[in-house]
Amino acid sequence: MYVSTVGIGNTGGHFVSGPSADSKSLHPCAFHEGHGATAVPPSASLVIAIMTHQFPALTPEQKKALSDIAQRIVAPGKGILAADESVGTMGSRLQRIKVENTEENRRAFREILFSSDASINQSIGGVIFFHETLYQKDSSGKPFPDVIKDKGIVVGIKLDKGTAPLAGTNGETTIQGLDGLAERCAQYKKDGADFGKWRAVLKITETTPSTLAIQENANTLARYASICQQHGLVPIVEPEVLPDGEHDLQRCQYVTEKVLATVYKALNDHHVYLEGTLLKPNMVTAGHSASTQDIRVNQWSLNFYVFFFFPPAGICFLSGGQSEEEASLNLSAINQCSLPKPWKLTFSYGRALQASALAAWAGKPENKKATQEAFCKRAQINGLASKGQYIVSGKSDGAAKQSLFTASYTY
Ligand SMILES: O=P(O)(O)OC[C@@]1(O)O[C@H](CO)[C@@H](O)[C@@H]1O
């Protein structure tokens, strides 16, 4: 057994008992009461018993490279465009606007988004690609990753391979894609990606999520995150608690907190460097079919309660079927909360960044300008929301207010 004495005080000691054992400075939340943390007076010494030895997983240079990438993605006012819909998911999006799901139509829509004015880089720090899109080109033959990078935006890649049933549970799932992941990461890094995404899905019902599903998905996320970091990719860790159900906001908060606590224990067990990660969680909301939707004021304070102890570089919320407008207002409300915010709180939206743009496009090349305007408008609004500066204008159009909820959202 190793025993280490760690000074914590004004000179900035190492905090090794929390989730981010590699942190060079004490996370401000370490002194917050609750969640099992010990309030330690500044300048006190902390004697910590370390049960096992950690072989260094990453060099200081690797850590710096990862944290620099993460910070670029969530620089002030920036968030992520999740354009990583699989072929099937893109198919259902295109079906709604009566456009055939061909490779060319998927490419054409993405080209319109990616060729938006370079000023889009003021609100978009990263774009998540699906495998197919990473290897597509614009009409002039330029590979999409280069189109994005030339705007100063970081390229990411969806790495999970979707859900698989977990036997012995009430219809719960785990996520596939660990086999061969190291090789895929190495290749994607060579091909221009600097971050990855892995989405695990948990569902609230009377009997779920089970401890098995929570633990299995947390462990899988941690294995993925560790492999990503070994290959220079910043992992987006996405444990999504789906909005389906009649549950109230408190139940969502309870479940989300249990899920996140388990995920962060697993990340710690796997020696994942948290400052080189991004968390992509669900917002804490009442279930989509809840009889009473709680008022937003509860929502933002509970979001903070949930995230108080975790130090990733940034927290990039998914939109989870909220309307574009709702997702922007909620993100702004979260950022307006007066509690201390040691991380960037921003967006990684799929539906809530593309719905108006898709509707404006309708598969017609002549709608390119209107499509880009719709996309840039939502990006700018979410950029403002990530700084807590978006307030309802009363002018937003019908499309932006339409619910984007899909039951049991898988892809
Ligand atoms: O909930 P949203 O913001 O629409 O999308 C969140 C997300 O994880 O789910 C999608 C699945 O298609 C992904 O494209 C995207 O990254």
Q: Using DSSP, state whether 31 is helix, strand or coil.
A: helix
Q: Where are the domains of the chain?
A: 66-401
Lowest mean pLDDT among 12-16, 17-21, 84-88: 12-16
Q: Give the separation between CA 21 and CA 40, rounded to whole angstroms.
A: 16
* DSSP 8-state code for residue 37: P
CA 83 to ligand 1: nearest atom:
14
Phi-psi category of residue 98: left, alpha or beta, with phi > 0 → left and psi -120 to 50 → alpha: left
Q: Which one is predicted more confidently, 11 or 309?
A: 309
pLDDT tens digits, 221-275: 999 999 999 999 999 999 999 999 999 888 998 999 899 999 999 999 999 999 9
Q: What is the pLDDT of residue 14?
A: 31
For ligand 1, atom 12, which residue shows the shortest CA distance? 85
Q: Give the separation between CA 121 and CA 201, rounded to whole angstroms.
A: 30
Q: Give the separation between CA 397 and CA 325, rounded to whole angstroms.
A: 9
Fold of domain 66-401: TIM Barrel (3.20.20)
State pTM to two decimals.
0.85
Q: Give the separation between CA 26 and CA 7, rounded to whole angstroms.
A: 10
C-alpha 53 to ligand 1 mean position (Å): 38
Crossing angle for the helix pair 181-190 and 211-230, to the nearest 10 degrees: 40
Query: Above 80 in pLDDT, residue 159?
Result: yes
Please choose from 132, 279, 351, 382 the residue to mutate so as to test ligand 1's pocket, defined by most ligand atoms within 8 A of CB. Answer: 351
C-alpha 228 to ligand 1 mean position (Å): 20
CB-based contacts of 385, cutoff 8 Å, min separation 6: 328, 329, 331, 332, 335, 347
Active site residues: 238, 280
pLDDT mean over 64-81:
98
Please choose from 331, 348, 358, 406 the residue to mutate so as to test ligand 1's pocket, defined by most ligand atoms within 8 A of CB. Answer: 348
C-alpha 194 to ligand 1 mean position (Å): 19
pLDDT mean over 396-404:
68
- Burial group, residue 8, by CB count within 10 angstroms (0-12, 13-18, 19+): buried
Tokens standing for 202? 């948990």
Q: Give the separation between CA 196 and CA 69, rounded to whole angstroms.
A: 11
Q: Give the separation between CA 136 and CA 153, rounded to whole angstroms.
A: 17
C-alpha 45 to ligand 1 mean position (Å): 44
Q: Which one is predicted more confidently, 299 or 130?
A: 130
- Burial group, residue 16, by CB count within 10 angstroms (0-12, 13-18, 19+): middle
Phi/psi at 291 (5° precision): -70, -40
User: Which run of H or of E encompasses 183?
Assistant: helix 181-190
Please choose from 199, 283, 403, 410 the residue to mutate so as to test ligand 1's pocket, defined by most ligand atoms within 8 A of CB. Answer: 199
Alpha helices per DSSP H over 270-367: 296-307, 324-336, 351-361
CB-based contacts of 179, cutoff 8 Å, min separation 6: none
pLDDT mean over 349-373:
97
Q: Using DSSP, state whether 140 is helix, strand or coil.
A: coil
Work out whether strand 163-165 and strand 173-175 pair parallel, antiparallel, or are unpaired.
antiparallel
CA 321 to ligand 1: nearest atom:
1
